[in-house]
Structure 1
Amino acid sequence: MSFNNIYEVSSSALNAQTIRMNAISSNLANVDSIAGSREEAYKPLKPVFAAQYNKSLAKMEQASVPVQVADIVEIDSLVEGRFEPENPLADKDGYVYYSGINVVNEMADMMSATRSFEANAEVINNVKSMQQSLLRVWEL
């Protein structure tokens, strides 16, 4: 695998984790938001990652498999209705709708995304160090 392939894979992973963190921050920001109907309620966002196989390279040792964000989906099933007839946003039946976001799960997902981002940033730093070592060989 060439240095360029390593940079491509790691940078795609950094981008994917950034998108994941954006979704998590949106979810955490809307954890207590309410709406008057199930359709208007905030629905948690989850990115869907997919491997992007590079089929143009014939040799397996030259192949690279960057990650791509295939989609960002809204999770409808977490929206929960609560009977609160005194709430000004309540529907005709007295229900308001909450996002149903679990803060603990979001925080665990955030820690996982952070660790993945850090690992890929470290890969880029190590490759840069390797390239600098190769350049120093030519100085001798």
Structure 2
Amino acid sequence: MIAGADPLAMVTRVAGAGLEAQSYRLRVVSENIANHRSTSATPGGDPYQRKTIVFAAELDRAIGAWSVDVKRTSLDGAPFVVEHDPHHPAANAEGEVKYPNVNLLTEMADMREANLSYEANLQMMRSARSMISMTIDLLRSGS
């Protein structure tokens, strides 16, 4: 922490970074869920590939505190789900269709975890706002 840095401003900056990171994570999870049964537009082609988020700790030099940032979005290397359906338009010559490597249970767990983290950061923002308001009220009553 930088000497003289405002702790309440620090809390709001760090919580804001957390809100932004979890919001991005929720968008990626939503995209994965929306595409969990999509197939390739061409027979035998690869379908949608699950995306994952890589977070990184980042030093905010302005306030001298560490916060979270989305380092990158990457593709999950897990194998695609293959089903035999020779009548499907995306089937290859052997009649097999590739479906995305998206597991709905995993995505729902990720969504729940991201939502809880988002709510925790939001509560930090609310608490900081309340403390700022109480401080202003104390200063007003002391005059």
For residues 35 and 18 of structure 2, the distance between their equivalents in structure 1, rounded to whole angstroms, comes to 26
Aligned to 1:42: 48
Aligned to 1:135: 136
Moved over 4 A (4+): none
Aligned to 1:95: 96
**TM-score of the aligned structures, taking structure 2 as reference length:** 0.85
The one-letter code of the counterpart of 1:29 is: A
Which residue, 15, 19, 22 being the options, matches 1:14?
19
CA shift in 2, pair 1:37/1:12, >3 Å: farther
The one-letter code of the counterpart of 2:64 is: A
For residues 77 and 106 of structure 1, the distance between their equivalents in structure 2, rounded to whole angstroms, comes to 14
For residues 37 and 66 of structure 1, the distance between their equivalents in structure 2, rounded to whole angstroms, comes to 43
**TM-score of the aligned structures, taking structure 1 as reference length:** 0.87
The one-letter code of the counterpart of 2:98 is: Y
For residues 66 and 30 of structure 2, the distance between their equivalents in structure 1, rounded to whole angstroms, comes to 27
* Structure 1: runs of 5+ lacking an equivalent: none
Q: Figure out how many residues of one structure are paired with residues of the other and give that number.
A: 134
For residues 115 and 104 of structure 2, the distance between their equivalents in structure 1, rounded to whole angstroms, comes to 16
Deviations 1:70-117 (A, max 9, x none): 000111324222232222211223221100211111111111111100
